[in-house]
């Protein structure tokens, strides 16, 4: 399984997660013997100690407005320094508590706490930039509820979050052809809007008349209204099609 998903161009942790129970069963008989090794205990403790130092330093520096971290914050579009400091404090507690005990205990303390922090606080920080919630909310403030939304450069999550009847122009279609098809599609009804990201290769629309919607999926998204359309646009090829999703 590990070899297969290493070869695959798409790599996500969830793909090999089903192997984890079998890995636990395979390693369990040797766990006591392995953890009895002093070098391994020292290594585990040292890793947690390094994590503690790095995260406490980064968290405090970010909260105090260190320029390099302020620039990183602007790039990430989120402020993770409180979470970094909390992770660092947790790691510090784990190393101090286990200093005169079996040092692998530091890992047992740290890992559950880390996942608890990440799956709550961390996910709240990730939510606005890893999902299109904020972008869709901004669109809902601009267009009527019965409007249709066309998407260029489709990200699948937009279909999950969109309350609008949503159309895209082919997942593998060249983006300049998507714009041409979108121009034609928008002309067929008065209540249609086009969602795209700023750096897409633009055709048939005036980006200066687009509406900024915010940041998601590492892109700045914009909305093209009827006022954004150019007067003319060439006809799209016959093999460029539309695909429509109607939310329930």
pLDDT tens sequence across 170-221: 888 888 899 999 999 999 988 999 999 888 778 899 999 999 998 888 888 9
Residue 1 in tokens? 């399984």
214-217 contact pairs (CB < 8 A, 24+): 214/134, 214/135, 214/138, 215/77, 215/129, 215/134, 215/135, 216/128, 216/129, 216/130, 216/131, 216/132, 216/133, 216/134, 216/135, 216/155, 217/129, 217/130, 217/132, 217/155, 217/157
Kindly tell me if the per-residue pLDDT of 95 is higher than 90. Answer: yes
> How much is the pLDDT for 205?
92
Region of residue 243 (left: phi > 0; alpha: psi -120 to 50; beta: else) = beta
Mean pLDDT of the chain: 90
Kindly tell me if the per-residue pLDDT of 40 is higher than 90. Answer: yes
Q: What is the mean pLDDT of residues 154-171?
A: 89
Which is more confident, 39 or 5?
Answer: 39
Site of tokens 């590492």: 218
User: pTM of this prediction?
Assistant: 0.70
124, 168 contact by CB (below 8 A): no
Kindly tell me if the per-residue pLDDT of 26 is higher than 80. Answer: yes
Give, in order, the Cα–Cα distances in Å from 6 to each of 15, 17, 26: 10, 14, 21
Beta bridge partners of 222: 196, 212
Which is more confident, 42 or 74?
Answer: 42
């Amino acid at each position: 399984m590990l070899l297969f998903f290493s070869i695959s161009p798409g790599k996500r942790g969830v793909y090999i997660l089903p192997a984890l129970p079998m890995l636990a069963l395979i390693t369990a008989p040797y766990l006591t013997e392995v953890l009895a090794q002093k070098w391994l205990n020292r290594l585990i403790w040292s890793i947690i100690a390094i994590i503690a130092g790095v995260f406490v330093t980064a968290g405090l520096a970010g909260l105090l407005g260190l320029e390099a971290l302020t620039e990183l914050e602007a790039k990430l579009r989120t402020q993770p320094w409180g979470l970094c400091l909390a992770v660092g404090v947790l790691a510090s507690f784990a190393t101090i508590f286990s200093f005169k005990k079996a040092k692998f205990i530091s890992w047992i303390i740290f890992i559950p706490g880390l996942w608890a922090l990440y799956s709550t606080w961390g996910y709240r920080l990730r939510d606005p930039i890893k999902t299109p919630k904020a972008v869709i909310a901004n669109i809902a403030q601009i267009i009527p509820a019965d409007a249709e939304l066309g998407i260029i450069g489709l990200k699948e999550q937009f279909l999950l979050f969109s309350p609008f009847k949503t159309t895209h122009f082919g997942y593998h279609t060249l983006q300049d052809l998507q714009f041409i098809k979108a121009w034609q599609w928008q002309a067929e009804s008065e209540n249609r809007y086009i969602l795209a990201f700023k750096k897409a290769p633009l055709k048939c629309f005036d980006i200066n008349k687009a509406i900024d919607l915010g940041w998601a999926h590492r892109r700045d998204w914009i909305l093209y209204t009827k006022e954004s359309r150019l007067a003319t646009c060439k006809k799209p090829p016959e093999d460029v099609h539309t695909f429509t999703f109607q939310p329930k």
